Amino acid sequence: MSESKCPVHPSNYNANVGGGGTRNRDWWPGELKLGILRQQTDVTNPMSKDFEYAQAFKSLDYNGLKKDLNDLMTDSQEWWPADFGHYGGLFVRMAWHSAGTYRVYDGRGGGGSGQQRFAPLNSWPDNVSLDKARRLLWPIKQKYGNKISWADLFLLTGNVALESMGVKTTGFAGGRTDTYEADESVYWGGERTWLGNEVRYSDGREGVRDVGHGPVDSSQSNASTDKGHADIHSRDMEKPVAAAHMGLIYVNPEGPDGIPDPVASARDIRTTFGRMAMNDEETVALIAGGHTFGKTHGAAEPSNIGAEPNAASIADQGFGWVNQYKSGKGPDTITSGLEVTWTKTPVKWSNHYLEYLFKFDWELEKSPGGAHQWVAKDAPEMIPHAYDANIKKKPTMLTTDLALRFDPEYEKVARRFANDNQALHEAFSLAWFKLLHRDMGPRSRWLGPEIPQEQAIWEDPIPADSCSQIDDKDVQALKKQILDTGIAPTKLIAVAFASAGSFRGSDKRGGAAGGRIRLEPMKNWKVNNPPQLQEVLGALEKVQKDSDKKVSIADLIVLAGCAALEKCSGASVPFTPGRGDATQEQTDIEAIGHLEPYADGFRNYGESTHRVRTEQFLVDRAHLLKLTAPEMTVLLGGMRTLNQNYDGSSHGVLTKNPGKLSNDFFVNLLDTSTAWKAADDREQVFNGVDRKTGQQKWTATRADLIFGSHPELRALAEVYGQNDGQEKMVKDFVAVWDKLMNNDRYDVP
């Protein structure tokens, strides 16, 4: 149903009730938005404050749950029948689409918080029919209640589905806590049309017209002649997105922009799977293993299906894509608009997918829904029908499947697997486990009886036997030894911040534990001021050597920061020991490289691009550090008076006493006698002059001045800039510092 046909489309309601009407975001769409810093809080979460999912999970009847899931696989429901009498394929796809939105550049997306229940994901064109999959699970979720989160359930169900079809999985870990509102922090792309990609391939500069696949507009799938297309053989996708179109998990199954070109399609697959942290071998294993199961659904023209869940009728109760074609389900299902079944045993593990891929010649055809797909030319009719035992068909494949044969690099891997099903089985199982657990953070968060023993490098492991064993007395002694090295406290603070500040709450990686700041690549990041870092590390290594206690460098780095902050603030700063040191061999340089910030406003590092302003980077960073807006404010103001700019510049160091923790940043920022003027055309650096005398007083960046310009940030800055602000400043800064240092301490209760 198109929007224009609908007389009471929700956007037509200019509601004259609370929350209605024309809003700030309508009047000033460009205003800095702080919304992502106040998501998923106590006010949106129905659980009481003392609810701990890990505790609840421990009382779960895990095996009972697995048995129920296993039984569900073949318990075909009248309202949404199971293809081939088995829901395995549907549930594997549900789990894969849940986890598969993860991307390495900011660690956002992924299956860690049950976001498939919310928009936009619940309504993505790539997630058609997964509304049914999730609803099939409701009786089981209802039965086990808070002992299993939706987030865990989606992924565990995929695992059980695989096991029930003969896959020996690597295991499973629970521990994903549910969220109760849509996560607004993820940049899914700038396009305003589903399946568009006019922004991601042009870095926001110019639009290229685009068409996609699937129910929404498969009628337009012959796009090869369109002018203005970014060349599918050479285009670059913007960061951090990891999908070739708005609303897809990865790539267009019909080929890039609907063009059925397997080799060009391989290029898109490599880009998108690479951004999910998968290499060629893992990628081939995942696709070949995944498409061993189930079928695609394109019984008829996609115009038969209705609006997605978020735009559907209230009567549909969260279901979407209501299908008018015949029975609207079972053999008449329309999901992707493609009609493919890969193997002759779609609910059983096999090697038929790769066998057929290489054995047959493939011919382009159109699905009943009008989409590009491929049929095995001279193959026998051996593929079963999902509902009619009397019908047999030839094998069929997607353009993206043929990519595994016609891309020379993928072909090598695929041929090896084709000749060695055991190798495929193992590689698939490992890659699947990585897919589901990539964004879970350290093992101390993992729950349940099926955690594999062997640690993988993508877990960023830290050897348990490297953790410090020190008591309060040792801490006091070590603090003194650190300060006695004579290194300036501000440098110690800088290194502690650099170490802990590498954390991101999205995929729970980075942080001070592991002491990876001593290793490649972190030790060479510009934002970490490498020469200064080396000086401090050298001194701390000496402290470690001279001490007769077992203490890690990771702990010493944080302790040094705490000791130095005590010196600079006069306050007492808490410290929690117990971190360990990772080795270089345990560190995946490329994967850790993804943690490097493009900009870090707390250290005045980085500036605006043509699409993102410095202050927007600051908020993005604050979100990854799990800070609220007040915490971001006090942290930045404190970092300035502590003289923490990465390059030692004095931008925003609005104090006569750099190196002392004070509220001077706010006092001077809010001082009306100063007038600010841009020092450059791009408004990156500003001069602050005395209004009367014209004398130059300060310089500052956008990350500084936003706290005087944005009304809500100014309101927060005022709290600290008042005469009673100094004490609060110190107290709040120490609190946020402590939070930062322990962001990654999932091992501490």
* Residues tagged active-site: 97
Q: Whose Cβ is closer to ligand HEB: residue 290's or residue 395's?
A: 290
In angstroms, what CA-CA distances link 266 with 2, 169, 270, 434, 510? 33, 27, 6, 21, 31
Could you give the CA distance from residue 330 to residue 78 in angstroms, rounded to a whole number?
9
Using the contact rule CB under 6 A, the part of the chain among 114-122, 140-148, 291-299, 376-384 near ligand HEB is 291-299
Site for ligand HEB in 295-324 (CB under 6 A): 295-297
Helix (H) or strand (E) holding 489: helix 489-500
**Nearest-CA neighbor of 211 among 252, 240, 175?**
252
Q: Whose Cβ is closer to ligand HEB: residue 149's or residue 429's?
A: 429
Q: Whose Cβ is closer to ligand HEB: residue 90's or residue 496's?
A: 90
A 10 A CB-CB count for 338 gives 27
Rule CB under 6 A: is residue 287 a binding residue for ligand HEB?
yes
Rule CB under 6 A: is residue 267 a binding residue for ligand HEB?
no
Alpha-carbon 546 to chain mean position: 42
Site for ligand HEB in 545-564 (CB under 6 A): none
C-beta of 287: minimal distance to ligand HEB in Å?
5
Helix (H) or strand (E) holding 376: strand 372-376
Could you give the CA distance from residue 21 to residue 44 in angstroms, rounded to a whole number?
23
C-beta of 102: minimal distance to ligand HEB in Å?
12
Tokens linked to 614: 């410095």
Which residue in the set 53, 57, 80, 96 belongs to the binding site for ligand HEB (CB under 6 A)? Answer: 96
Which residue in the set 196, 215, 240, 289 belongs to the binding site for ligand HEB (CB under 6 A)? Answer: 289
Rule CB under 6 A: is residue 737 a binding residue for ligand HEB?
no
Q: Whose Cβ is closer to ligand HEB: residue 294's or residue 577's?
A: 294
* Nearby residues of 592 by Cβ (< 8 Å), 6 or more positions away: 460, 510, 516, 519, 521, 522
Query: What is the DSSP track for 138-160?
Result: HHHHHHHGGGS-HHHHHHHHHHH
Helix (H) or strand (E) holding 259: none
Q: Whose Cβ is closer to ligand HEB: residue 294's or residue 514's?
A: 294
Could you give the CA distance from residue 610 to residue 684 in angstroms, rounded to a whole number?
12
Using the contact rule CB under 6 A, the part of the chain among 194-202, 287-295, 626-634, 645-653 near ligand HEB is 287-295
**Nearest-CA neighbor of 260 among 417, 178, 375?**
375
C-beta of 253: minimal distance to ligand HEB in Å?
4
Q: Whose Cβ is closer to ligand HEB: residue 287's or residue 517's?
A: 287
C-beta of 182: minimal distance to ligand HEB in Å?
24
235: phi > 0 → left, psi -120 to 50 → alpha, else beta; which? beta
C-beta of 92: minimal distance to ligand HEB in Å?
4
Using the contact rule CB under 6 A, the part of the chain among 289-297, 481-489, 583-591, 603-611 near ligand HEB is 289-297
C-beta of 346: minimal distance to ligand HEB in Å?
7
Q: Whose Cβ is closer to ligand HEB: residue 335's or residue 655's?
A: 335
C-beta of 608: minimal distance to ligand HEB in Å?
35
C-beta of 118: minimal distance to ligand HEB in Å?
21
C-beta of 312: minimal distance to ligand HEB in Å?
19
Which residue in the set 93, 275, 352, 508 belongs to the binding site for ligand HEB (CB under 6 A)? Answer: 93
Rule CB under 6 A: is residue 125 a binding residue for ligand HEB?
no
Using the contact rule CB under 6 A, the part of the chain among 246-254, 469-477, 650-658, 660-668 near ligand HEB is 246-254
Where helices occur in 345-467 by DSSP H, the ranges are 352-359, 399-406, 408-418, 421-437
**Nearest-CA neighbor of 294 among 553, 460, 94, 494?**
94
Q: Whose Cβ is closer to ligand HEB: residue 129's or residue 218's?
A: 129
Which residue in the set 66, 86, 291, 745 belongs to the binding site for ligand HEB (CB under 6 A)? Answer: 291
CB 460 within 8 A of CB 587: yes
Could you give the CA distance from residue 95 to residue 333 in angstroms, rounded to a whole number?
20
CB 422 within 8 A of CB 144: no
Could you give the CA distance from residue 468 to residue 709 in angstroms, rounded to a whole number?
45
Rule CB under 6 A: is residue 293 a binding residue for ligand HEB?
yes
Which residue in the set 110, 112, 240, 294 belongs to the binding site for ligand HEB (CB under 6 A)? Answer: 294
Pairing of strands 396-397, 685-690: unpaired
Using the contact rule CB under 6 A, the part of the chain among 290-298, 463-471, 525-533, 690-698 near ligand HEB is 290-298
C-beta of 629: minimal distance to ligand HEB in Å?
38
> DSSP label at 443?
G
Which residue in the set 37, 65, 69, 92 belongs to the binding site for ligand HEB (CB under 6 A)? Answer: 92
C-beta of 238: minimal distance to ligand HEB in Å?
20
Tokens linked to 486: 């004579």
State the binding string over 394-423 for ligand HEB (x if CB under 6 A, else -). Answer: ----x-x-----------------------
C-beta of 260: minimal distance to ligand HEB in Å?
12
- What residues does 701 pair with on adjacent strands? 685
Could you give the CA distance from residue 460 to residue 511 in angstroms, rounded to a whole number?
11
**What is the per-residue burial (b if ≥16 Cβ within 10 Å, else e) of 716-739?**
bbebbbeeebbeebbebbbebbbb
Site for ligand HEB in 326-355 (CB under 6 A): 335-336, 338
In angstroms, what CA-CA distances link 731 with 37, 566, 574, 723? 21, 12, 12, 15
Where helices occur in 100-225 by DSSP H, the ranges are 130-136, 138-144, 150-164
Q: How many helices (H) and strands (E) does the chain have?
A: 24, 8
C-beta of 372: minimal distance to ligand HEB in Å?
11
Rule CB under 6 A: is residue 430 a binding residue for ligand HEB?
no
Rule CB under 6 A: is residue 250 a binding residue for ligand HEB?
yes
Q: Whose Cβ is closer to ligand HEB: residue 337's or residue 501's?
A: 337
**Nearest-CA neighbor of 663 among 640, 686, 646?**
640
Q: Whose Cβ is closer to ligand HEB: residue 427's or residue 705's?
A: 427
Helix (H) or strand (E) holding 558: helix 553-569
Q: Whose Cβ is closer to ligand HEB: residue 36's or residue 456's?
A: 456
For ligand HEB, how many residues bind (rule: CB under 6 A)? 26
Site for ligand HEB in 127-166 (CB under 6 A): 129
Q: Whose Cβ is closer to ligand HEB: residue 273's or residue 446's?
A: 273
Which residue in the set 251, 305, 478, 706 belongs to the binding site for ligand HEB (CB under 6 A)? Answer: 251
Which residue in the set 37, 60, 65, 90 belongs to the binding site for ligand HEB (CB under 6 A)? Answer: 90
Rule CB under 6 A: is residue 290 a binding residue for ligand HEB?
yes
523: phi > 0 → left, psi -120 to 50 → alpha, else beta; which? alpha
Rule CB under 6 A: is residue 89 a binding residue for ligand HEB?
yes
Tokens linked to 375: 């049929």
Helix (H) or strand (E) holding 283: helix 280-290
Q: Which residue has the tokens 């048995």?
A: 67
Where helices occur in 47-87 by DSSP H, the ranges are 53-58, 62-73
Using the contact rule CB under 6 A, the part of the chain among 62-70, 92-100, 437-445, 632-640 near ligand HEB is 92-100
Could you give the CA distance from residue 318 to residue 305 in angstroms, rounded to a whole number?
15
Q: Which residue is nearest to ligand HEB (CB)?
A: 294
End-to-end CA distance of the chain: 51
Q: Whose Cβ is closer to ligand HEB: residue 251's or residue 553's?
A: 251
**What 3-state DSSP class applies to 414?**
helix
Using the contact rule CB under 6 A, the part of the chain among 9-17, 83-91, 461-469, 575-583 near ligand HEB is 83-91
Give the interface with ligand HEB as residue ranges (CB under 6 A): 83, 89-90, 92-93, 96, 129, 250-251, 253, 269, 286-287, 289-291, 293-297, 335-336, 338, 398, 400
